Amino acid sequence: MTATTDAVPTDDLTTEVTSCLEEHWDPDLTVEEWWDRLGRSGWAVPTWPVEWYGKGLSRAEGVRVMQTIGTFGALGAPGGLGTLLAGPTIIVHGTEEQKQRYLLDIVTGRKAWCQLFSEPGAGSDLAGLNTRAERDGDEWVVNGQKVWTSGGHWSDLGMLLARTDPDVAKHQGITYFALDMHQAGVEIRPLRELTGRAMFNEVFLTDVRVPNDAAIGGLNNGWAVANTTLMFERSGLGAGGGGGSVAALPGTVGGDLARRAGDFLRTRDLTSGGGGGSPTSVQQLAALARGNGTIADAEVRQQLAQLYTLNEIARYTNLRQRALSRAGGEIPGLGNIAKLSMSRILRLSRDLSGRILGPYATLHAYDAADAETLAAATEGAVQPGVTESMLFAQAPQIYGGTDEIQHNILGERVLGLPKEPNADKGKAFRELPKNG
């Protein structure tokens, strides 16, 4: 297994990954043992730098590695916000000591992370956050409330944004901490969503403690660090990242680390649908339309063609970016464009699914028992995987910065259009009017 920073021909890459899998994969290992081998081999997060458990590969090559692991029949790398957001952010902003402390546990899936950014009064206006951290010797004492915290209930650590100086402008007095979620004062309350799942939570922080050396990127520099995380979030989610396809949960809370790795390779339960995020593919929808005769509807055919075209445009944009980055360039605003494109594709896929399923789109199975009953009653016409994707399609236009915010960023930072009026400019956070 050699490290590389250049594009690797597909065959060489596949051969290299396959030979590592042949040597190390064993379905009888526990998830923890398998992820330890995979993480240390550099193939768990191959897009990370060689010196930090990666291979220095491009995103497209990283996707090929994940596909090779799947085709081989081994359990994929740990997913979640540790590999997607926390790790890459720590690589950019963390000290050497912080990289040593956090990164190995992320690539080996031993610790799971959540993102403690949004608050009831601070979503799009994230810099307006109210959670405060006050210094107490070598530690900070944190009080406040976060919301929409995905995976908060199975996380070991949180990427916490807290206000450390209310006397400066709102973007300037924020610090980014790695918060230990297993301590008194961290109260996690699940929020049930449209899909019937409770993927995200409210998190109440009362006198919780975080050491000063867990501040990532330095005191009051949290806005810059948060923007790095958001940049990884947009580009990762736009590229379909998030590790949603791996059934085993990383971290000490989910309980999967001690289980047999091979047991996670069973065919996915129908009710898991798109795993909360993967869209139903054009090919699946075309097959459904052929199967129930709706392919005769001209509008269905048009929307299938449109969906196929949008997916191809996204693929070509990625290829263009790959070619450009080899030449040292980049597409300005690509992360924002990728996220907008992904949310548009999911909405179109939702509408098309509704047209193809007709009235059956209004029936959803929330668990395996529901799926069985509905399948029997409708002679298989109900499609729980498809309806789950339809219900989830509302989410991508909101998380990681709403579509409107992506448009604002593209307008202001990429196209150079006039900025939105900002009455807060230059005022200390303490003097600003607050929500609620």
Judged by CB under 6 A, does residue 201 bind ligand FAD? no
In residues, how long is the chain?
436
Question: How many chain residues touch ligand FAD (CB under 6 A)?
Answer: 19
Q: Which two tokens stand for residue 21?
A: 């899998």
Do residues 81 and 43 make contact, with C-beta atoms less than 8 angstroms apart?
no
CB of 348 to ligand FAD, least distance (A): 19
The residue (of 54 and 251) whose beta carbon lies closer to ligand FAD is 251
Residue listed under structure tokens 């081999």: 41
| 362 token code pair | 């209004």
Position of minimal CB gap to ligand FAD = 123
Q: Which is nearer to ligand FAD, 80 or 217 (CB)?
A: 80
Q: How far is the CB of 114 from ligand FAD (least distance, A)?
A: 6
Residue 295, token pair as written in the block: 């392919």
Tell me whether residue 94 or residue 401 sits nearer to ligand FAD (CB atom): 401
DSSP run (H or E) holding 88: helix 87-93
Binding to ligand FAD in span 241-270, by CB under 6 A: none
Assess 408 for contact with ligand FAD (CB under 6 A).
yes
Query: Which C-beta is closer to ligand FAD: that of 122 or that of 374?
Result: 122
Please, are residues 199 and 143 in contact by the beta-carbon 8 Å criterion?
no
Nearest in space to 396 (alpha carbons), one of 341, 355, 357 = 341
| 214 Rama sector, left if φ>0, alpha if ψ -120 to 50, beta otherwise | alpha
200 contacts ligand FAD (rule: CB under 6 A):
yes
Q: Which is nearer to ligand FAD, 42 or 277 (CB)?
A: 277
Q: Which residues ranging from 94 to 153 are in contact with ligand FAD (CB under 6 A)?
A: 114-115, 117-118, 123-124, 148-150
State yes or no: residue 284 binds ligand FAD (CB under 6 A).
no
The residues carrying an active-site annotation are 233
Give the other-Cβ count within 10 Å of 222's Cβ.
29
Q: Smallest distance, Å, CB 368 to ligand FAD?
A: 23
Q: Are 146 and 123 in contact (CB under 8 A)?
A: no
Which burial class, exposed, middle or buried, applies to 271 when counting CB atoms under 10 A from its CB (0-12, 13-18, 19+)?
A: buried
- Footprint (CB under 6 A) of ligand FAD, residues 385-404: 395, 398-399, 401-402, 404
Site string for ligand FAD, 61-100 (x = CB under 6 A): ----------------------------------------
What does the alpha-carbon distance between residue 179 and residue 188 come to, in Å, rounded to a whole number?
14
CA distance 349 to 304: 9
Sites of contact with ligand FAD (CB under 6 A): 114-115, 117-118, 123-124, 148-150, 200, 395, 398-399, 401-402, 404-405, 408, 420
